Amino acid sequence: MPTPQSTVISMRLPADSGHRLKRMARRHGWTPSDASARLVEEGLRRSEFAFLDFRDSPAGRQACIQGSTLAIWEVALLARSYKGDAVAVARHLEWPASKVQAALHYAEAFPDEIQEALAENDSIDFKALKRMLPQAVDFTQAKAAKR
């Protein structure tokens, strides 16, 4: 979550929290300062958006919907296929419409983050997917072969 401008704010942490912060930073390849800035930003976003959580994934840390396995960009992808109809997406996911709307509000507030994830998803074709997941099966080809 790069920011164009920054400000220095000093804080004091309990020793155990400092150790945990450094461990997290090492795990992600960040500095402790980067890790603390990211955690503060994530905490601020959680306080501003309903149903929001952040999780580590193979693609990095992602904004997700609480109580689900879906990242915000995945809800935005579904919304794109339903022409932005949040109620239809909610019906599809069997979620309350408020959860879908929360995801769409986040996507609207952070369009670059969501567009980057969508573009990354769009760039992966079946050949690339098969390299990552050898057990993957292309069902569209299977259907065509049966005809």
pLDDT tens, position by position, 98-134: 999 999 999 999 999 999 999 998 888 888 888 888 8
**How many folded domains does the chain comprise?**
1
Kindly write down the DSSP assignment for every residue of 9-37, as one continuous string.
------HHHHHHHHHHHHHHT--HHHHHH
Is 61 inside any structural domain? no
Domain boundaries, position 109:
66-125
Q: Is residue 25 part of a domain?
A: no
pLDDT digits (tens, 9 = 90+) for 11-49: 899 999 999 999 999 999 999 999 999 999 999 999 999
Is 49 part of a structural domain of the chain? no
For the full predicted model, state whether its pTM sits above 0.75.
yes
Q: Is residue 101 part of a domain?
A: yes
Residue 141 counted as domain residue: no
Decide if 90 contacts 102 (C-beta within 8 A). Answer: no
Residue 110 lies in a domain: yes
Report yes or no on 23 lying in a domain. Answer: no
Q: 97 lies in a domain?
A: yes
C-beta of residue 80 within 8 angstroms of C-beta of residue 141: no
